[in-house]
Structure 1
Amino acid sequence: MQILRLLVGISIFIGHWSEPYVARLLPQGQIPIDIFFMIEGFLSMRYLSQPAVMAANRWRVVGDRIAHVYPIYAIALVAGLCAFAPFAFANADGWTVANWIGAFFSGLVLLPVFSTLVHGSVFPLNPPSWAIVLELFGFAFLAFLRVPGSPRRLFAVWAGAVSVCLVLAAVWHDPNAGWSTVHYWGGWPRMSLGFFGGALLWHLHDRYGARTPKLHPVCVLASFMGMLLLTTRFIGWPLLGVGVPLLVWFGASCARPAWLDAIAPDAGRKALAVYLLGYPVMMIWRVEGIHVAMPLSFAGSLAEFAVVLGSLLAASVAIARLQKNSGQQMRS
């Protein structure tokens, strides 16, 4: 599941990078965010169900989660600030110095900005970060809901999210579950559907997971890639209702060869940084590429993709090490 989290971040980066060059390089590029929410809900419920965590102060538990996520989020926000600086100072693409600074300070306090900047993104300096912000609120709600022993309230929240998503899909006349519609308020039921669905899935897995056949992890990872490459158009609900839960279930139940135990913790440490830094790193390369007069043939080429992805992975390694070292210093 930790490797899946990392692959989700990489797939979202690939989707954003390919937009100007290839139409729908990943045909089901909308589904990784739902996989992310469900994995986060599953892992959060597992963490909150530990006896020591259940006995701890809930404010402290939520504070620890924010302390883990927010530094990476803030670094990515600063990277986005730098990436869009040339647009702000040139008054290009709707940017001005005023809304550039405003977007930064709004982002620092996790508040959305409703504008036409960056295709209407509510966090224009780093559009994918909306999911991390909503997931933080979801984690806080789950922590205070106190459901480790009784998932009935959790089921009620999840069922409510399902109902809202169905209504929104009908209102938006979108049989693909509304995932293609850019709408901030629609993100809340979408997060709730995946996140609390993942938490509910943990309860079921905790009871029945031992009976599940243990697939090889390569089969699980291949299923993730195959899911993204499905070309059928209107399959949002079948994927969301069946494909994503099965992927998370078998990811939690799969066999654990030695190589998996060796690389999974490292993948988990880098997953959040890859997700949050993908868009700002990509934009920095695009803006700086213009200034250093890179040839037009470089844009959209495999060479550019390799350079940008390599920069992203290098940045995620640096942040993971910095976070690990700071954590060790705090414990000592």
Structure 2
Amino acid sequence: MLQMLRMLVGLSIFAGHWSEPYVGQLWPQGQIAIDIFFMIEGFIAMGYLARPAVAGTARWRIVASRIAHIYPIYALALVAGFCSFTPLALTHAQGWTIANWLAAFFSGLVLLPFFSTLVHGSVFPLNPPSWAIVLELFGFALLAYLRVQKSPGRLLALWIGAASTYLVLGAFWRDPNAGWATVHYWGGWPRMIMGFAGGALLWHLHSRYGARTAKIPPLGVLALFIGMHLPKIHLIGWPLLGLGVPLLVWSAASCARPAWLEAVAPFAERNTLALYLLGYPVMMLWRFADSIFTLRPAFAGSAAGFALVLGSLLAASVITMHLQKTLGRQAQG
């Protein structure tokens, strides 16, 4: 179920970005998807790092393997984003120039933010959602460095410090979504650490007490995930962050595993990363295609238009992951 939620986070963020020109803000609590993602990643990462075979330098091999798995897909998505913004750069539209277009690309290649006013101030303007993947890599390395496999007390101290910092910054900026934009970029670091440390803490608690938890039906977990996106009360983001996200992750880790979930989970595990990273570039490429083929604006913002873009995203994700797996086998052979 955790793998299923990871995929739904990617689709939630994709749908939110797609909807902006047509219906405005699709999810009143859209920022919560990032925090769900970070906590799930921390939970899963702790499961990897806590395996008996992982000790000493072995934990750094896992970190290196994680980077080797993520970076090619990240780079491919960056190239796709670079191509999708070509028309704007060449025509100097919406603040783009050849110089900042190239600078954003080379900055992204080395995983560095690009501080500008482009794309609503995104620090990775060629692919805005990728900031969370970049920080995820650092979060994984941080857990490995701290050797928190048997030190939940250290994790708790880390979580308290990160949560306090994030909440203070979010309150000061009046922005519970701190992290994604240039002006509040540094708020993304305590936000990521809070999610990762919180997920790792949940793993420790779940490994001890999870067997006593009633197995919740998967549809109940899905309803909770969707419901967390919908409240229109602005300040509900804080209790959702402190209570709703941990409850969701715990429920997902404890839920029943019917046959349909067993069938979907492997697909989600294989393709979530590509879905997340390719979503924005694929959407932008389709918007460029709209202008070439002069599709009616009503179609682009319709359910059929969304299905077309989503279908192409799913196809691109499956092809990308298949190619990566094939190339990996060839390299090992």
TM-score, structure 1 as length reference: 0.96
Correspondence 1:79 to 2:80: yes
Cα deviation, residue 156, structure 1: 1.3
* Distance in 2 between residues matched to 1:122 and 1:170, nearest whole Å: 21
Would you say the 8 A contact 1:76–1:280 is kept in 2? yes
Correspondence 1:264 to 2:265: yes
Cα deviation, residue 297, structure 1: 2.1
| Residue of structure 2 in register with 1:234 after alignment | 235
Cα deviation, residue 320, structure 1: 1.8
Correspondence 1:167 to 2:154: no
Would you say the 8 A contact 2:9–2:37 is kept in 1? yes
Aligned residue type for 1:269: R
Aligned residue type for 1:207: R
Root-mean-square deviation (CA, aligned residues, Å) is: 1.6
Would you say the 8 A contact 2:49–2:59 is kept in 1? no
* Distance in 1 between residues matched to 2:56 and 2:266, nearest whole Å: 26
Cα deviation, residue 304, structure 1: 1.2
Aligned residue type for 2:253: A
| Residue of structure 2 in register with 1:42 after alignment | 43
**Do the aligned partners of residues 199 and 75 (structure 1) sit closer, same or farther apart at CA in structure 2, a change above 3 Å counting?**
same
Would you say the 8 A contact 2:104–2:125 is kept in 1? yes
* Distance in 1 between residues matched to 2:167 and 2:291, nearest whole Å: 44
Cα deviation, residue 179, structure 1: 7.4
**Aligned-residue identity in percent:** 68
Segment drifting more, 53-62 vs 155-164: 53-62
**Do the aligned partners of residues 125 and 84 (structure 1) sit closer, same or farther apart at CA in structure 2, a change above 3 Å counting?**
same
| Residue of structure 2 in register with 1:279 after alignment | 280
Cα deviation, residue 184, structure 1: 0.8
**C-alpha distance after superposition, 1:274-309 (max 9, x if no partner):** 110111000011012101211232221112111111
Aligned residue type for 2:88: F
Listed as ranges, the matches of 1:134-173 within 5 Å are: 134-173=135-174
Would you say the 8 A contact 1:166–1:177 is kept in 2? no
Aligned residue type for 1:227: M
In structure 2, the gaps of 5 or more residues are: none
Cα deviation, residue 198, structure 1: 0.6
**Do the aligned partners of residues 177 and 130 (structure 1) sit closer, same or farther apart at CA in structure 2, a change above 3 Å counting?**
closer
Task: Please state whether the residue corresponding to 2:150 is helix, strand or coil.
Answer: coil
Would you say the 8 A contact 2:42–2:200 is kept in 1? yes
* Distance in 2 between residues matched to 1:24 and 1:180, nearest whole Å: 16
| Residue of structure 2 in register with 1:217 after alignment | 218
Listed as ranges, the matches of 1:40-79 within 5 Å are: 40-79=41-80
| Residue of structure 2 in register with 1:251 after alignment | 252
| Residue of structure 1 in register with 2:116 after alignment | 115
* Distance in 2 between residues matched to 1:285 and 1:173, nearest whole Å: 34
Segment drifting more, 176-185 vs 52-61: 176-185
Cα deviation, residue 231, structure 1: 2.5
| Residue of structure 1 in register with 2:131 after alignment | 130
Segment drifting more, 225-234 vs 153-162: 225-234
**Do the aligned partners of residues 197 and 262 (structure 1) sit closer, same or farther apart at CA in structure 2, a change above 3 Å counting?**
same
Would you say the 8 A contact 1:30–1:179 is kept in 2? no
In structure 1, the gaps of 5 or more residues are: none
Would you say the 8 A contact 1:30–1:180 is kept in 2? no
* Distance in 2 between residues matched to 1:92 and 1:82, nearest whole Å: 15
Cα deviation, residue 83, structure 1: 0.2
Aligned residue type for 2:16: G
More helix by proportion, 1 or 2? 2
Listed as ranges, the matches of 1:315-326 within 5 Å are: 315-326=316-327
Aligned residue type for 1:51: P
* Distance in 1 between residues matched to 2:21 and 2:232, nearest whole Å: 20
* Distance in 1 between residues matched to 2:144 and 2:178, nearest whole Å: 28
| Residue of structure 1 in register with 2:11 after alignment | 10
Segment drifting more, 19-28 vs 205-214: 19-28
Aligned residue type for 1:41: G
* Distance in 1 between residues matched to 2:99 and 2:44, nearest whole Å: 40
| Residue of structure 2 in register with 1:91 after alignment | 92
| Residue of structure 1 in register with 2:193 after alignment | 192
Segment drifting more, 101-110 vs 179-188: 179-188
**C-alpha distance after superposition, 1:236-255 (max 9, x if no partner):** 11101111001000101111
* Distance in 1 between residues matched to 2:327 and 2:251, nearest whole Å: 34
Cα deviation, residue 23, structure 1: 2.7
**C-alpha distance after superposition, 1:108-144 (max 9, x if no partner):** 0000110111111110100000000011011111111
| Residue of structure 2 in register with 1:311 after alignment | 312
Segment drifting more, 198-207 vs 297-306: 297-306
Task: Please state whether the residue corresponding to 1:52 is helix, strand or coil.
Answer: coil
Task: Please state whether the residue corresponding to 1:24 is helix, strand or coil.
Answer: coil
